[in-house]
């Protein structure tokens, strides 16, 4: 069975690797994880770093889409409220 490591532990180990205060062999021995696996985690983090800086653009786009959708929903609520009020005045039940 494969051993699963928490994201927090992986982060802690990769940060220690980046500080270069201990060798990869020392960290592997300390945590009981093969050095190759530690190198994979470090390479994954380094490859993912540019995306961390791009996220601000993505967040802004997501926020704009969210606000647009909210506005559309409020418009729909207003339209349906007006229709319901009109039907009520006409004595038509909206069941």
Tell me, what's the pLDDT at 75? Answer: 96
Nearest residue to 83 (alpha-carbon basis) of 43, 67, 48, 75: 75
How do the pLDDT tens digits run along the chain, 95 residues long? 778 999 999 999 999 999 999 999 999 999 999 999 999 999 999 998 887 777 666 777 888 899 999 999 999 999 999 999 998 888 776 56
Structure tokens at 19: 């500080």
Its pTM stands at 0.56
CB 24 within 8 A of CB 13: no
For the chain, the residue count is 95
**24 neighbors 33 (Cβ within 8 angstroms):** no
């Amino acid at each position: 069975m494969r051993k699963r490591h928490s994201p927090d532990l992986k982060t802690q180990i990769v940060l220690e690797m980046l500080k270069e205060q201990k060798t990869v062999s020392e960290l592997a021995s300390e945590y009981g994880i093969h050095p190759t696996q530690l190198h994979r985690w470090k390479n994954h983090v380094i490859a993912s770093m540019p995306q961390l800086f791009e996220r601000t653009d993505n967040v802004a786009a997501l926020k704009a889409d969210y606000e647009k959708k909210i506005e559309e929903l409020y418009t729909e609520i207003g339209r349906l409220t007006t229709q319901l009020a009109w039907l009520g005045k006409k004595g038509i039940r909206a069941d």
